[in-house]
Amino acid sequence: MRIECQACNTRFKLDDELVKKDGTKVRCSKCKEVITVYPQTGKDNASSPVSKSSESKPNFINHEAQVPTQDTDVVDSKDGSQQSSPRLLILLAILGIVASGGIAFYFHYLHIYAVVMISCCFCAFLWPELKNIFASIWLKFDPPFQQGELIGVENQIQGYVIQSNYFMTKLRTDSSAIVSIPNYTLIHSRIVNYSIHPESFSLSCNVQVDIQNSPERVRKILLDAALPVKGMSSTLEPYTKLNGFSGNGLSDYTLYFYLDDYEQKLNTLEEIWNRIWILFKRAGILPYTPDQSEDDDSSESILDEIDIFKPFTDYAKSYMSKNMNRCQVAPGSFVFNQGDEGNSLFIIEEGVVGVQVEITPGKCIEVARLGAGSFFGEMALLTGEARTANIVAISDTILFEITREHIAPLIDEQPQISKALSELLVQRKIATEAEKNKYRAEKINRNALKKQIMEQIDSYFKEYKKSL
């Protein structure tokens, strides 16, 4: 009888005498599927196999039919040579033991033969542990990692090595779980040591947006979301890739970026996803659909997101949003230079700028990057100080500018705003000074600095009021 497996269409022969009237279960030699075979009822059916396949399941789930019960006989469809190969090996091993025993008896070496046989049995019994010991010795000669380093095993498990003995290696994952890996498994796996080449830490974010959005604009916003994030590689710039279009009207994009410190992976991913959501929502990129009931004026909504304007009333923020200027800066252009006089604050609506500080004459270093929703130039607006850094556009940037003329009437009407603003400026100035003096730490008197800034704000606007 010829049988065909309905799962993989494999044909094989089966002796008619093995088929029972109530059906016989047969296991396919290729896909291991168990099928039920019934006897042929007539000559007309001789050319067509009679079988009923069992319900197919995923490969990683054990098939119930593959574990036959005592009342059910399962016939394996493998040929005779494949089916008898394990038995043949066992038979040859027994014959080898008997033959070697006979030779040892003939030459009076039974004591040596007994020692060898006991040693072989002992090694066979302890082989699972012995192979791990041999693997640990191999790891000692050519160690691919050290304790405390971050490694990845087969791109499936990542963690810090906390212990390595003669049997297994223990890793602590990002979720603080302890994973124990036998050394024998470890030496047969591909190991990536992230602690050796920290500059190669690469991550990615995959997003889907409406196909009607321009690819250039989507790519720009994705880069705007990644460039200002702390911990990004200083040598490898992030980049984007358009993967294709799906049938449901969505475009698929991937943002690739690199980290200097892999330990900040989770925090960096969270910050980037938050920035992507904010920038997509602000730009009206689908599927982040803006609420049509809200005011379309992005200039007023952006003031609500900035800490420095929280002391102002809704009327004051509405007044500033209607009067502030909007400008666009091309990549590589300077918004202003360190030491310039100024009396305005800038808010980034879209894009990324770099903050450069001049350390020595003619030499500047970048100390920070600011993205959409950030602001700069607040000291010049509120105290009249000269610009303390160079601001250069990294990508196409759209800015809102608030000048002294816009904010002076509001501070004159609400003097208590100066106190709230001085506290925010103290926090900002301390962070700036800490960055600039990272190699020569200096203690800053917080109360004295707050009092100084409040006096600067009051005197600055009193002089402006007198000049009118």
The arithmetic mean of pLDDT across residues 304-313, rounded, is 78
Separation between Cα atoms, residue 96 and residue 90, nearest integer Å:
10
- Copy the structure tokens of residue 15: 């002796």
223 CB burial (10 A radius; 0-12, 13-18, 19+): buried
Name every residue whose Cβ is closer than 8 Å to that of residue 133 and which is 6 or more positions away in sequence.
166, 167, 183
Fold (CATH) for 298-467? Jelly Rolls (2.60.120)
Average per-residue pLDDT for the chain? 76
- Copy the structure tokens of residue 255: 């943002």
- Copy the structure tokens of residue 283: 């730009």
- The confidence score (pLDDT) of residue 348 equals 92
Q: Between the CA of residue 205 and those of 202, 253, 256, 422, 446, what are the distances in Å?
A: 11, 8, 7, 39, 40
CA-nearest of 54, 44, 48, 52 to 1 is 48
CA-nearest of 329, 367, 332 to 347 is 329
Q: Between the CA of residue 150 and those of 93, 102, 185, what are the distances in Å?
A: 46, 56, 18
- The confidence score (pLDDT) of residue 401 equals 92
Q: How confident is the model at residue 437 (pLDDT cuts 50, 70, 90)?
A: low
Query: Taking a C-beta distance cutoff of 8 angstroms, is the pair 305, 274 a contact?
Result: no
Question: Looking at this protein, which amino acid is placed at residue 10?
Answer: T
The arithmetic mean of pLDDT across residues 155-171, rounded, is 82
Separation between Cα atoms, residue 312 and residue 300, nearest integer Å:
12
Name every residue whose Cβ is closer than 8 Å to that of residue 315 and which is 6 or more positions away in sequence.
none
For residue 391, the 8-state DSSP code is: E
Per-domain boundaries in the chain: 2-78, 82-125, 129-193, 200-283, 298-467
The arithmetic mean of pLDDT across residues 377-381, rounded, is 86
Helix, strand, or coil (residue 333)? coil
Separation between Cα atoms, residue 302 and residue 295, nearest integer Å:
12
Mark 316-353 as b/e (b = at least 16 C-beta within 10 Å): bbbbbbeebeeeebeeeeebbebeeebbbbbbbbbbbb
For residue range 312-371, what is the model confidence (pLDDT) as tens digits? 888 888 888 888 899 999 999 999 999 899 889 999 989 999 999 887 787 888 888 999
For residue range 217-242, what is the model confidence (pLDDT) as tens digits? 999 999 999 988 888 887 788 999 99
Question: Looking at this protein, which amino acid is placed at residue 101?
Answer: G
* Domain 129-193 CATH class label: mainly beta
Query: Taking a C-beta distance cutoff of 8 angstroms, is the pair 197, 191 a contact?
Result: no
CA-nearest of 339, 381, 378 to 356 is 339
- The confidence score (pLDDT) of residue 287 equals 63
Task: Name residue, tokens 């991550």.
Answer: 203
CA-nearest of 212, 221, 214 to 250 is 212
- Is residue 265 predicted with pLDDT exceeding 50? yes
Q: How confident is the model at residue 155 (pLDDT cuts 50, 70, 90)?
A: low
Fold (CATH) for 200-283? Alpha-Beta Plaits (3.30.70)
For residue range 458-467, what is the model confidence (pLDDT) as tens digits? 888 888 878 8
- Is residue 7 predicted with pLDDT exceeding 50? yes
- The confidence score (pLDDT) of residue 296 equals 46
- Is residue 50 predicted with pLDDT exceeding 50? no
- The confidence score (pLDDT) of residue 17 equals 67
Separation between Cα atoms, residue 349 and residue 56, nearest integer Å:
56
